[in-house]
Amino acid sequence: MFISPKDEHSLIQLPRTFNKPMGIALDHKNQKLGLACKDEITIFKNSASLAEFYPRSPKKYDALYMPRMSFYTGGVDIHDLNFGDDNKMYGINTLFSCISTFDDNYNFTPYWKPNFISKIVAEDRCHLNGMAMLNGKPKYVSMFNRGDSAQSWRENITKTGCIIDIGSNEVLIEGLAMPHTPKIINDKLYILSSAKGTLSEIDQKTGKETEIINLGGFVRGMGYHKEYLFIGLSKLRKNSSTFSKLDIPGKENQAGIVIVHLPTRSLAGKITYHNSVDEIYDVHVLPQVTRPNIINTTMPESKQGISIPSGSFWAKPKQEKNEV
């Protein structure tokens, strides 16, 4: 879902359909976007020239993300996703309890696993889910526990979460309530505790947690722009035995985006979906564009928009002849 300013007083949204979208990766320098779906990662490239002459609405959009490449990962349950400065794509491979990279040789290549995970197998042993980047490489990861058996994290989900420094393999902090979305922003580490609905800062030297604000819901996904954090809010799954154990303030099950002013640690705004959206996993900000568009691979425009180094072209759709 792209949310854009319609004018100074209102917003407009552009929905697109993908198969179980989760982690989003942004490469601002090269104007690329990566999207982790059920069994593949799709890479999109922005073309301002294609946007200008978009057949359905010329001169309406100032960015158009077109599909350019896919990695067929299989159903490995990728959560967080990031472009690395070493031209690698890093993803949290939750099913196999590791950080993976992706290329055209394998479904994935293990990059790092927790030292307590004895074997890389498809068992979602610790529910590894989040990844904080530093200098273009993974620095910290979040997980629900440090178990080494199939789905062991389900045993006590509100008290066993932790953050691990992958360089030293040391636990920075433990005892967290379903940690998600670790982010390093201005040299500070922030974390969302989904089961408590809180945003916290973690001291990278001592591991001390300082709660910034309680957002009163199941929080995942965090984008940053200037002084503001944009945080995803999800409804609790009614048929989930895991979610039923949570004691979250505001169990009215709202989905949306909350905006936090970081310097004052205060709520600055909120977008609420009363229907149509149940869960939000990831949130990012596109600071250089105002009205972006994105084309999925099922739309005919994905085949008609052609880009080459010297320019871009929209192919005219072929008209089918009526046979007698």
pLDDT, the chain, mean = 93
Sign of CA dihedral 290, 291, 297, 301: negative
CA distance 319 to 90: 42
User: Of the CATH numbers 2.120.10.30, 4.10.320.10, 3.40.50.880, 3.40.50.10790, which one belongs to the domain with range 2-307?
Assistant: 2.120.10.30
DSSP assignment string, 278-306: ---------TT-SSEEE--TTSTHHHHEE
Instruction: Determine the Cα–Cα distance for residues 26 and 82; give it in Å rounded to an integer.
Output: 7
pTM over 0.85, yes/no: yes
Domain ranges of the chain: 2-307
pLDDT digits (tens, 9 = 90+) for 107-155: 999 999 999 999 999 999 999 999 999 999 999 999 999 999 999 999 8
> Residue 52 corresponds to which tokens in the numbers above?
């200008």
pLDDT tens-digit series, residues 215-269 = 989 999 999 999 999 999 999 876 676 766 676 655 557 899 999 999 999 999 9
